[in-house]
Amino acid sequence: MTPVLLLAAEKESAQVTDWAARIGWVVGLALFVALVYWLMREGWKWRGTLQADLPELPTTPDETGPERLAMSGRYHGSTTAGQWLDRIVAHGLGTRSRAELTLTDAGLDVVRPGASDFFVPAAQLREARLDKGIAGKVLTEGGLLVVTWEHGDKLIDSGFRSDHAAEHNEWVEAINSMIETNSREGAER
């Protein structure tokens, strides 16, 4: 036989895909993803259990007074003040959502469709500032309105982003002015 025929005779056809091994890998990967998801969910629930000492969130009073400012945008979450990665998940504060903010003489009303609404009384507001990140959400410098408020014995930072970022400066000025006015009135008493 010629060498070319010998080489041709020795070659075999390509091996057929081993479907059992492939299905095993896919099932194994799906189980791994499910395990990771379950662990993340358990971690979220554990964090909520650790923060169970946080009092119930205030609800909007019947009479809030005239509206100073209104804004629609996104609520990006709440953290322990000054610790932008320490997310607070108790009472639904960890859930990102759309938000409608209204600032009145009584305080800051946060209405979140599909999530828990909350109200921050004016006496509990501590500061408003522009920042670039909160709870794992990082934006451009000054792209996030962060409101610091006191709830129970804890200071909380809540991050909001307006649909119109140009409104952020007006909100910072209005909230900080309101805080200064309230602290002056409290000092005079």
pTM of the complete model? 0.74
- The per-residue pLDDT for 149 is 92
Q: What is the DSSP string of 87-127?
A: B--GGGTT--EEEEEEEETTEEEEE-TTS--EEEEGGGEEE
Name the residue among 130, 125, 123, 135 with its Cα closest to residue 185.
123
- Mean pLDDT value of segment 33-39: 94
pLDDT of residue 97 exceeding 70, the answer is: yes
Residue 52 CA from chain centroid, whole number:
18
Predicted confidence band of residue 99 (pLDDT cuts 50, 70, 90): very high
Q: To the nearest whole number, what is the mean pLDDT of the chain? A: 84
Instruction: Express each pLDDT in 54-79 by its tens digit.
Output: 888 888 888 888 889 999 999 998 88
pLDDT of residue 83 exceeding 80, the answer is: yes
